[in-house]
Chain A
Amino acid sequence: MFDFIARRLISIIPVLAVVAVFVFLMLRLTPGDPAAVIAGDNATSDQIAMIREKLGLTLPIWQQFGIWISDILRGNFGESFFFKKTVAELIAQRIEPTLALSVCTLIFAVSVAVPIGVLAAYRQGTLFDRFVMGFSVVGFSVPGFVIGYCLIYVFAIQLGWLPVQGYVRIGVDFGGFLIRMILPSITLSVGFIALIARITRASVLEVLNEDYIRTARAKGLSNRVVLMRHALRNAAVPILTVIGLGIAILIGGAVVTESVFGLPGLGRLTVEAVLSRDFPTIQTVILLFSVVYVVVNLLIDISYTIFDPRIRY
């Protein structure tokens, strides 16, 4: 087991190394002097010279990479000249809405998608099953921002039940925070629910043909116990895998959803950074999201043994 965890940990090193090289090269691939690009349009020549010194731009490129990566590993992500803050401060300031949105979406999506997926498999071929499958195709096809605006139009503008946009910090007003999380979480959940429900249905269907399900039924266990304990647990590995892979959709969707609902999170920050060509911030956000994505999937890989004791490493 520990052997396996160690092996998996080592295996993510080359992946993250490729990500790091890409993020590092980003700035070098832009046309123009990287120092001038970082400093922005209003920088003085002194500032540019200072940045050039700091990045070691006169050194060979592999030494520049060494300087950059050792800074990153020590938590020094550089300075955003556009926002006039260090990137670390900027991220700390913007991380809460994104984290809150992702957690709410994950909870909502999984608690909706898994039951409807199981039920669709159990009632394969019925109207409900076809409805779920139809929904999953539609859910993949309608872009998040269209869903978001439709929800805003109906529930915020026409009915006036929920606020249109904005964000309240958890610590400031928890009720206000929850109310403002409802529409963004539903918006972001749609694609995710489509994905998870589809895989849940498929993997539960596969398990339902197994001998032990027949045995469980023959023992006289209730449908609920058979479905939840015997079928779902055995179908858990592909479901977990797709939830992990879906984190990429979640991150991409967060960028769009935050823009629709005016949430001051990391996704919004990414867009602002791209529009103002603030490279230290873009680089750090991409690095951060990729690390989160890789680590979440690593944890899911490791968790397989908990759900399926037949898997031994």
Chain B
Amino acid sequence: MSAITPEVVVDSASIAAASTKRKSLWRLALRNSNVIVGGSILLVMVIIAILAPFLGTVDPTRIDPAMRNKKPDTVLTYKLEDGTPATRTAIMGTDSLGRDVYSRVLYGTRVSLAIGISVALCAIAIGVVIGLVSGYVRWADGIIMRIMDGLMAIPGILLAIALVSIWRAGLITVIFAIVVPDVPRVVRLVRSIVLTVREEPYVEGAISVGTPTWTLMFRHILPNTVAPLIVQGTFIAAAAILAEAALSFLGIGIPPEIPSWGNIMAEGRTLFRVFPHNILYPGIFLAITVLAINIVGDGLRDTLDPKMSKKV
């Protein structure tokens, strides 16, 4: 019994302190101008992604041979299902299969945001587990870090290309292929934090009162990694969206049936000289989204992780 009581005291005190500190950090982060500007742009993108079907779009996969390669702002006439003629303006033109670029770009927002979020979450989840083990289990550290060093020696996009070539293209394989090159970076970050934190007196205190290893890791050590991981996560998401676009652009990413910004651009390549809009519009959306995430990341880093912001 006497072994448990001090633990509870240490525990509640440190958690309370950490949570008030965290709350004020968040308030600080939300007042940062970078976070506000980037966050607002991102919010618009999220709304576009969610509301894509209601923003004047048509089926992004509908092929219409009569309406191929129309320049932006062309008025299209077509027949509705019941036969009545209708017109609509293709504000971003149509592609070489007659699909509406505006609808494709808006639906593409879904794919890009989904990729960014899921890659960041997966890379962090996998990286945290491996990083905790590596930082805490001494005998495993050497082996794990050598494997991570090896993975980092393969340039990221090349590793993703290699993984895609193994599994063939698909949404899940593309996500996983982009996750793998990011994992070593998360592992290094988590491991370095674990290595510094485990020498802290409160961790030694927790060990001395017999806290089980898992409790120690998840309640005492892991919370220290949250702020840096959120910062890292935003940069991973930005890079992941770019990586997906690059893979799809090269024709080895998301299958062509799913409209993604990279796919739209890949299809626009052959007729670029005459119809640059197929590359221009998705390119603008892509650049703005990634820019917004990077700006948020910079802002979060400045507020949540001041040590790192001094370095870069």
A residues apposed to B, CB below 8 Å: 14-19, 21-23, 26, 29-30, 137-138, 140-146, 149-150, 152-153, 157, 164, 198-199, 202, 247-249, 251-252, 255-256, 259, 270-271, 273-275, 277, 279, 282, 285-286, 289-290, 293-294
Contacts and interface: CB of A to CB of B under 8 A. Distances in A.
A282 B165 contact: yes
A286 B161 CA distance: 9
B287 A202 contact: no
Nearest to B239: A140
B287 A141 contact: yes
B146 A29 contact: no
Contacts of A251: 155, 157-158
Given A141-B242, A271-B252, A286-B162, 14 more contacts: A15-B149, A15-B150, A18-B153, A26-B166, A137-B294, A137-B298, A143-B283, A146-B279, A149-B276, A157-B273, A198-B312, A256-B246, A285-B158, A290-B155
Nearest to A18: B150
Contacts of A294: 153
A150 B265 CA distance: 13
A255 B287 contact: no
Contacts, number: 143
A259 B291 contact: no
A7 to B, nearest CB: 15
B238 interface: yes
| 3 closest residue pairs by CB, A with B | A18-B150, A252-B157, A146-B283
A199 to B, nearest CB: 7
B155 A137 contact: no
A58 B162 CA distance: 25
Contacts of B249: 143, 145, 256, 259
Interface string B232-249: 000000100010011001
A33 B289 CA distance: 42
13 contacts: A26-B166, A142-B283, A143-B249, A146-B283, A149-B276, A198-B312, A256-B157, A256-B250, A274-B252, A275-B252, A279-B165, A293-B153, A294-B153
Nearest to A287: B154
A31 to B, nearest CB: 8
Given A141-B291, A146-B283, A274-B161, A14 B149 contact: yes
Nearest to A199: B312
A255 B272 contact: no
Given A270-B161, A271-B251, A141 B150 contact: no
Contacts of B238: 140-141
A274 B249 CA distance: 14
**Interface-central residue, B158, B265, B280, B287, by most chain A CB under 10 Å:** B158
A271 B250 contact: yes
Contacts of B272: 149, 152-153
A248 to B, nearest CB: 4
Nearest to B278: A149
A16 B153 contact: yes
A29 B166 CA distance: 7
B295 interface: yes
A43 to B, nearest CB: 18
A70 to B, nearest CB: 20
B206 interface: no
**Interface-central residue, B153, B242, B294, by most chain A CB under 10 Å:** B153
- Decide if the interface of chain B is mainly helix, strand, loop or mixed: helix
A114 B142 CA distance: 37
B97 interface: no
B229 interface: no
Given A141-B291, A286-B154, A146 B312 contact: no
Contacts of B312: 198-199, 202
A273 B161 CA distance: 10
Nearest to A153: B276
B156 interface: yes
B286 interface: yes
A142 B245 CA distance: 11
B130 to A, nearest CB: 14
Contacts of A146: 265, 279, 283, 286-287
Contact of A259 (B150, B250, B276): B250
Contact of A143 (B151, B162, B164, B287): B287
A141 B295 CA distance: 10
A150 B312 CA distance: 30
Contact of B161 (A14, A15, A138, A255): A255
Contact of B166 (A30, A249, A275): A30
B287 A248 contact: no
Contact of B154 (A29, A30, A277, A290): A290
A8 to B, nearest CB: 13
Interface in B223-270: 238, 242, 245-246, 249-252, 265
Interface in B289-312: 290-291, 294-295, 298, 311-312
Contacts of A255: 157-158, 161, 246, 250
A164 B269 CA distance: 13
A249 B246 CA distance: 13
B185 to A, nearest CB: 11
B50 interface: no
B165 A274 contact: yes
A13 to B, nearest CB: 10
**Interface-central residue, A142, A144, A273, by most chain B CB under 10 Å:** A142
Contacts of A26: 162, 165-166
B294 A141 contact: yes
Contacts of B165: 26, 30, 273-274, 277, 279, 282
